A and B are shown apart, each in its own frame.
Chain A
Amino acid sequence: MATPTMDKVEAEAVSSPYITVTFRIRRFNPEISDAAVWEDFQIEIDPKERVLDGLHKIKWDVDGSLTFRRSCAHGICGSDAMRINGKNRLACKTLIKDINPDKPITIEAIKGLTVLKDLVVDMEPFFQAYRDVMPFLVTKGNEPTRERLQSAEDRERFDDTTKCILCAACTSSCPVFWNDGQYFGPAAIVNAHRFIFDSRDEAGEQRLEILNDKDGVWRCRTTFNCTDACPRGIEVTKAIQEVKRALITRRF
């Protein structure tokens, strides 16, 4: 046997404290109806498992038509942002035991983007806003033969915003974005921040000009929903405030 312990693992899994949890999922399938409806599923699950594991149990064993995006299953790829018990989270980073499994767990698609089917939304407007802030390093002059030098402090300056995985949890938690999808949204601003405060970049001025737009940073109402929603722990609201300050002082 290659893995001599496998049988024991399974034996323990059987006796482990499975509990019954109700998943209340907002379903929408345009091939069946033009309206979204809540549907309840009862499943047996170990409370130490993830919400994503619960969704998989439903999809694989109960209703194969339940549709959601997922890939890495450990909070790196950003596919499975959804609204769980009214808060935006990644299903793969939310353990059942942490969200009170005694009550039904409500799961719906993130808000402010077109719902295509069940928990799947159209991400195109979100990525459009991202593309609109020039999210790439811009430099002038000749390239050096070796790497560009950057002090550890300069590198640290924008470390927080390099963590973004573009899951859209922040943007789709923003009340301004819910009602006006033309607002750039937190994620695009975070990715602009990542370059504005990168000492190697030379297009900070242009990016600030873009975010000075009527749908730019000035629409932020500092509700901190985005900071609460970010699965990577980025201080999103702070990043937006730093961009505002840079716009007023033109120093960054």
Chain B
Amino acid sequence: MSAETPSAIGAVEGAAYGPDNPAPYIEPPRKRTGRTPRSTRGNFEMAAWLFMRLSGVVLVVLVIGHLLIQLVLDGGVSKIGFAFVAGRWANPFWQVWDLLMLWLAMLHGANGLRTVINDYAERPNTRLWLKGLLYTATVFTILLGTLVIFTFDPNIR
């Protein structure tokens, strides 16, 4: 196609296509072929699928509990302050609660996004970059969050 016909919409008058010189077919992304590579990842996909369901259930409890305490009970939003957080993280129970919530929510979300990328990213390169970004961000957030929970210093001021 010449540079003067940038649009691919509609037949171009006098286009060079014919029975002996056909246009390219309209291909879908990532066709299955006889050589489609077979994965050797074992039960990873099943584990991921199960994890989504189980973590979802646990997160419902964790998140709703978290929100209730933070926003409704015991005076509600107005009580939240540096001191409140400091008080909570002094207790190992709340440390574990928040740590669990952080890990499960991050992994759940990241796995969900991985699925979305698998479903919607058409080109292999796009997939690679998006997933790379996703994994980096996930790891970074999880590590940072964990660090903060355990090394939180109430006397920082």
Q: Is the CB of B28 within 8 A of A182?
A: no
Interface of B is mostly: loop
Bound CA–CA A221/B52 (angstroms): 12
Contact with B along A96-120 (1 / 0, CB 8 A): 0000000000000001111110000
Using Cβ atoms and an 8 Å threshold, which residues of chain A touch B8?
A: 34-35
Task: Give how many A-B residue pairs fall within 8 Å (CB-CB).
Answer: 106
B157 at the interface (CB under 8 A from A): no
Bound CA–CA A34/B26 (angstroms): 8
B2 at the interface (CB under 8 A from A): no
Using Cβ atoms and an 8 Å threshold, which residues of chain A touch B49?
A: 218, 244
B118 at the interface (CB under 8 A from A): yes
Partner of A30 from B22, B29, B39, B120 at Cβ < 8 Å: B22
Partner of B10 from A37, A113, A175, A221 at Cβ < 8 Å: A37
Q: How many residues of B contact A (CB 8 A)?
A: 40
Q: Chain A: residues with CB nearer than 8 A to chain B?
A: 28, 30-37, 111-116, 122, 125-126, 128-129, 132, 175-176, 178-182, 212-216, 218-219, 221, 244, 247-248
25 A-B Cβ contacts within 8 A?
Answer: A30-B17, A30-B23, A31-B17, A31-B18, A32-B17, A33-B11, A33-B23, A34-B17, A35-B10, A36-B26, A37-B11, A116-B25, A125-B32, A178-B28, A179-B122, A180-B29, A180-B30, A181-B30, A213-B38, A214-B45, A216-B45, A218-B46, A219-B118, A221-B119, A248-B50
